[in-house]
Structure 1
Amino acid sequence: MSSRRQFISLAALGLVSAPALADSETQRRFHAALERDPRLSVYADTVGELSGEAAIGGSLPSDLNGVFYRNGPGRFELGGERYHHWFDGDGFAQRWHIAGGKVSHRGRFVATQKFTEESRAGQFLFPAFGTAINRRGVKSNDSVNTANTNLLPFNGAVYALWEGGSATELDPVTLATRGVKAWRPDLKAMPFSAHPKLDPDGGLWNFGNAPGGDQLAIYRLNAAGEVTRMAMVPVPQLNMVHDFVVSARHLIFLLPPYDMQPGAGSLAESMRWAGGDRPLRAVVIAKDTLALRQVFELPARSVFHLGNAFEDGACTRLDAVLHEGDVLPDPGLPMHGEMRGLRENRSNTVQITLDYATGTAREARLFGVSEFPRVAPQVVSARHRKLVVLGAAGGTDLILSTVNLIDTDSGKADSYSFGPGWQVEEHVLVPRRGARSEADGYLVGAAQDTRRGQTVLTVFDAHNIAAGPRALARLSYRAPVCFHGNFLAA
């Protein structure tokens, strides 16, 4: 119990010692730049709830029925001040309902403790990932929980997830906030990451991490949402870890080389890139013991998102999007109105093979400029041959405009480009009932038409992405860009 309490307290390291640095100058610069560049609209502030019916272009498949849940940051400005980093915004949950050839949309803010107290005060009060603020004390991880990263339908409920705090339960239909979810009384306020992995039996695996804590919390929940296994795994020099993958026998984490310097400002500012001295580590935890099995080293790179993992004889293979150098500052640039001068994208989607006998890791490039890898839900933790990624035809990290379905055996990609004026969000594979292959179904996602200021639901036939969207469900308004979400079939 004491180690868990210590683990919880580490979430506030580096967040509470700096003065308030959210400022009106950032807000002024952004709005001046927005008047010149409509691409910045995807980083604009949102106020209040959204709801409406979408205008359908094309033909929605008759067998595509369900709810596409999405989540991302929506509030960036309050009291005349603006956050410095895209990751700071308060969570704005979204629900796309698809039924009978029609699409409706609803969006509302997650009423976390942070969001509620700051709304009442009319100003930002708590530290954020990339903005140092110290107007009110941090009592626990959930004091600063923005619930802004993923929306997970699970066991009849829906949960808004974040990096470093509890899940927040929402009403599956209205998206009204029901409250913080403690999976077990002694796990209250423990970090519960935004990237859980569902198991074929309906349960899930997840982890928690507090930067600088040198421990990973590992959770196994059954289909009823009960914690059946939990462990604290020591991992030296553990800092940034956003995602992981699960194979039949292992949990695998890729750890980029960052050092933690508490008191340097915001959490983002305290994460110092150490790639010249240390490698990217692949940390393998055995499922049966929840103990560290092996650590592999690769050339130093940053990583946010992984695809899937599976066992291949005496090896494990996994997909990841790897970025050269430190990428943490990049999503902060548009918050200041800077779309020019972004560094060239140096990311690649790769498949990594971990060879336990030799202790070596090798990688094969699958795709260039990319992010947001996903596989079909029925193959998570098993052998897969199709991988969805977004691409950036313009050559920058922050303007993703292509959708790509990669054949991981041949390396060929079935691709579609939305072209200039679009920013594409994460897409997910939705299998047909009784699907016989990973491409037997649909690719569903969202995209921002920045020229018209509208958000659009996109539907592709998964076996022919190059043909373009089979249907576009266009809202009459712009909804906030989302990071992640999941499709719940009717």
Structure 2
Amino acid sequence: MAALLVRGGLWRPRGGGLVLLSKSLLTRPVVACTTTLDRPTLAHQIHISPRSYVLKDVLPSPQQELVTFSNRKGLQCISPLMRSVEETPQPILTKVKGHIPKWLNGSLLRNGPGKFEFGEEKFNHWFDGMALLHQFQLENGIVTYRSKFLQSDSYVTNSRHNRIVVSEFGTLAMPDPCKSIFGRFISWFEMPRPTDNSSVNYVVYKGDYYVSTETNFMRKVDPETLETKEKVDWSKFVVVNGATAHPHYEPDGTAYNMGNSYGKHGSSYNIIRIPPQKSNRDDTLQGAKVLCSIAPAEKMKPSYYHSFGMSENYVVFAEQPIKINLCRVITSKFLGKPIADGINWEPQYKTRFHVVNKHTGELLPGQFYSRPFATFHHINAFEDQGCVVLDLCCQDDGGSLQTYQLQNLRKAGEGLDQIYNSIARAFPRRFVLPLNVDSSVPVGQNLSPLSYTSASAVKEVDGTVWCMHENLHSEDLEEVGGMEFPQINYSRCNGRKYRFFYGCGFRHLVGDSLIKMDTETKKMKIWQEDGFYPSEPVFVPVPKATAEDSGVILSVVVTPSQNQNTFLLVLDAETFSELGRAEVPVQMPYGFHGIFVPR
């Protein structure tokens, strides 16, 4: 088969997609085997004082250079991936091409927005769309698909009135025109009620499945039928005003999450522990408790966060300079603004790492700082030689939340290119946080004893620790748009030392490739097919596997083309070659997150 030369390297057709060959191979004969990217990474260390961002008497290292924005042109219009679709409530048979392993029995559950207007009123932000639940059921090599809209109060109420009645992240609902003039006036002074439009992820508590967003409401769902069950309010069990859609789990089912609380004295970050067992049949979050509360740097401007890290013994929280201005949020409705208007990137603040003992709830006294970055998804965290090693996807500019307006995502031509090029690329980075920092440690000393990473943690005069990251990639990752939606072999590796992680490359506003990254060699393998956009990869291990990457990667691949089919992709996680795909004759929007439920 012929190879294809495109920006960033040489691509070879492979299993229906493309495998990226190293740019160093351009002068060699093209061979038929899959080749991985391999470029040694420079590991120079540069110390930057937390009080000054000026480098003196040192040359900039490629390892620490800010790689932020792109300059791409000619992006494909993906507007159809952000349009409303109809649900498919009854299972339909897919067309399987290739081979679906017969041991792969269970359901891939996906979540994301699927309806973007009611009547003449339209949502403004991608995150506002009504939750559409997807299910790919796999059994003995046969795959069926179904989808249902979550019957949330938001969806039902909006449908009944044929207008947007419940405010969402980026859309403020207008007062009911049927109210009296006085009633409409008073409604402007009321806080918008939190939405239960749980469109972000599936989560599991005490063996039950829920869909979640980041408000205080979740919805229990039946993973077999996708039927919507009861609404569960976090604030009835613990004093929080919401929780993330990315909890962590212990092998026994104990879950940990984080949520903010807001009161007359400001705000706090709270680490929550949920027990693994039910006390009775109707139990939901009973027994959940706040393990630790952390004060923000500014009480009225807490950080926004989407996820957190967890090792065997510690929870790690990155307090980043994406700030929630509580005064603006409280007055947003009166000012005619959505809640999103109160969240902004403020890079004058540094990023701070908080480390909490998850068994005792003790907040460690160490003060760890780094230069400002934004993160949405953690990769993993583990402990080694008295340190917590934290891996996460980082952006050097955190303004992307505001950029994902639907009007931007639906642009074409130069307008679309400009939007893409205005968003900072995300890259995987490693930080090292030493657990024991005492007064006897000399100022200016790197406290990391780990020989396998160039990440440093240097003690400052004031006793704080300044952390510099290691890039978990070679510069070739820049050519595929960085990486987001990271996943690992969770059941085996979460909280433990690991080698591989998987994610989406972002040469577009949504993922346009799948990537396997090796943390030791920084080699990567890529799957890509022109005109198709894969979702977050989900790792499913082979039964009784011995190798970390023995399993498959599942990803729902969508396309804006009306003449091509969406499909469920199955990759061999070790070789990253395609095993098979299950084509679905219905259009799907691009979604967010999901899980695999084994049968």
If the length of structure 1 is used for normalisation, what is the TM-score?
Answer: 0.85
SS across alignment from 2:156: helix
SS across alignment from 1:160: strand
1:391: which partner in 2?
505
1:152: which partner in 2?
203
The answer to whether 1:402 aligns with 2:513 is yes
Q: How far, CA to CA, are the matches of 1:189 and 1:313 in structure 2?
A: 35
1:445: which partner in 2?
555
Q: How far, CA to CA, are the matches of 1:269 and 1:140 in structure 2?
A: 14
Q: How far, CA to CA, are the matches of 1:141 and 1:320 in structure 2?
A: 33
**How far 1:150 moved relative to its partner?**
0.3
- Give ranges in structure 1 of 5+ residues lacking alignment: 1-35
Q: How far, CA to CA, are the matches of 2:206 and 2:429 in structure 1?
A: 33
CA contact (8 A) 2:200 2:211 kept: yes
2:311: which partner in 1?
247
1:231: which partner in 2?
291
1:290: which partner in 2?
361
- Give the one of 271, 277, 302 matched to 1:218: 271
Higher strand proportion, which one?
1
Farther off after superposition, 456-465 or 187-196? 187-196
CA contact (8 A) 1:167 1:192 kept: no
Q: How many corresponding residue pairs?
A: 448
Q: How far, CA to CA, are the matches of 1:148 and 1:127 in structure 2?
A: 14
Quickly say closer, same or farther: Cα 1:171–1:328, change in 2 above 3 A: same
Quickly say closer, same or farther: Cα 1:96–1:343, change in 2 above 3 A: closer
- Give ranges in structure 2 of 5+ residues lacking alignment: 1-74, 177-186, 279-285, 438-458, 460-464
Alignment root-mean-square deviation, CA: 2.5
Letter in 1 for 2:525: D
Q: How far, CA to CA, are the matches of 2:127 and 2:367 in structure 1?
A: 29
2:418: which partner in 1?
341
**How far 1:120 moved relative to its partner?**
0.8
**How far 1:140 moved relative to its partner?**
8.8
**How far 1:166 moved relative to its partner?**
2.3
- Give the one of 124, 143, 161 matched to 2:212: 161
2:582: which partner in 1?
473
2:568: which partner in 1?
457
**How far 1:67 moved relative to its partner?**
0.9
Farther off after superposition, 71-80 or 149-158? 149-158
CA contact (8 A) 1:141 1:165 kept: no
Q: How far, CA to CA, are the matches of 2:205 and 2:596 in structure 1?
A: 11
Q: How far, CA to CA, are the matches of 1:139 and 1:433 in structure 2?
A: 53
The answer to whether 1:117 aligns with 2:226 is no
Farther off after superposition, 471-480 or 47-56? 47-56
Q: How far, CA to CA, are the matches of 2:243 and 2:321 in structure 1?
A: 22
2:228: which partner in 1?
177
**How far 1:410 moved relative to its partner?**
1.5
CA contact (8 A) 1:126 1:135 kept: no
1:20: which partner in 2?
none
CA contact (8 A) 2:92 2:144 kept: yes
Farther off after superposition, 372-381 or 126-135? 126-135
- Give the one of 49, 68, 77 matched to 2:108: 68
Q: How far, CA to CA, are the matches of 1:342 and 1:163 in structure 2?
A: 26
Can you list the C-alpha shifts for 1:235-279, whole angstroms capped at 9, x where unaligned?
21323111011101211122221341333522221112210x111
CA contact (8 A) 2:569 2:580 kept: yes
Q: How far, CA to CA, are the matches of 1:91 and 1:224 in structure 2?
A: 28
Quickly say closer, same or farther: Cα 1:354–1:94, change in 2 above 3 A: same
**How far 1:366 moved relative to its partner?**
1.8
Q: Percent identity?
A: 24
Q: How far, CA to CA, are the matches of 1:312 and 1:118 in structure 2?
A: 51
Can you list the C-alpha shifts for 1:354-400, whole angstroms capped at 9, x where unaligned?
233342323111234110011112211111111111112x3x4x131
Farther off after superposition, 56-65 or 73-82? 73-82
CA contact (8 A) 1:57 1:472 kept: yes
The answer to whether 1:327 aligns with 2:433 is no
Letter in 2 for 1:247: S
**How far 1:281 moved relative to its partner?**
2.1
Q: How far, CA to CA, are the matches of 2:240 and 2:353 in structure 1?
A: 27
Can you list the C-alpha shifts for 1:216-242, whole angstroms capped at 9, x where unaligned?
232212222553542351321323111
SS across alignment from 1:470: strand
CA contact (8 A) 1:69 1:485 kept: yes
- Give the one of 351, 357, 379 matched to 2:493: 379
**How far 1:477 moved relative to its partner?**
0.7
2:85: which partner in 1?
46
Quickly say closer, same or farther: Cα 1:104–1:334, change in 2 above 3 A: farther
Q: How far, CA to CA, are the matches of 2:257 and 2:192 in structure 1?
A: 17
1:18: which partner in 2?
none
SS across alignment from 1:227: coil
Letter in 2 for 1:243: S
SS across alignment from 1:62: coil
CA contact (8 A) 1:354 1:360 kept: no
Can you list the C-alpha shifts for 1:397-425, whole angstroms capped at 9, x where unaligned?
x131111111111211122222x311111
1:195: which partner in 2?
246
If the length of structure 2 is used for normalisation, what is the TM-score?
Answer: 0.70
Quickly say closer, same or farther: Cα 1:65–1:247, change in 2 above 3 A: same
**How far 1:296 moved relative to its partner?**
1.9
1:316: which partner in 2?
388
**How far 1:433 moved relative to its partner?**
1.2
1:426: which partner in 2?
536
The answer to whether 1:94 aligns with 2:134 is yes
Letter in 2 for 1:290: G
Farther off after superposition, 207-216 or 92-101? 207-216
CA contact (8 A) 2:432 2:467 kept: yes
1:8: which partner in 2?
none
CA contact (8 A) 1:166 1:190 kept: no
- Give the one of 133, 136, 139 matched to 2:173: 133
CA contact (8 A) 2:275 2:287 kept: yes
Q: How far, CA to CA, are the matches of 1:142 and 1:473 in structure 2?
A: 40
SS across alignment from 1:63: coil
CA contact (8 A) 2:196 2:218 kept: no
Q: How far, CA to CA, are the matches of 2:542 and 2:409 in structure 1?
A: 43
2:441: which partner in 1?
none
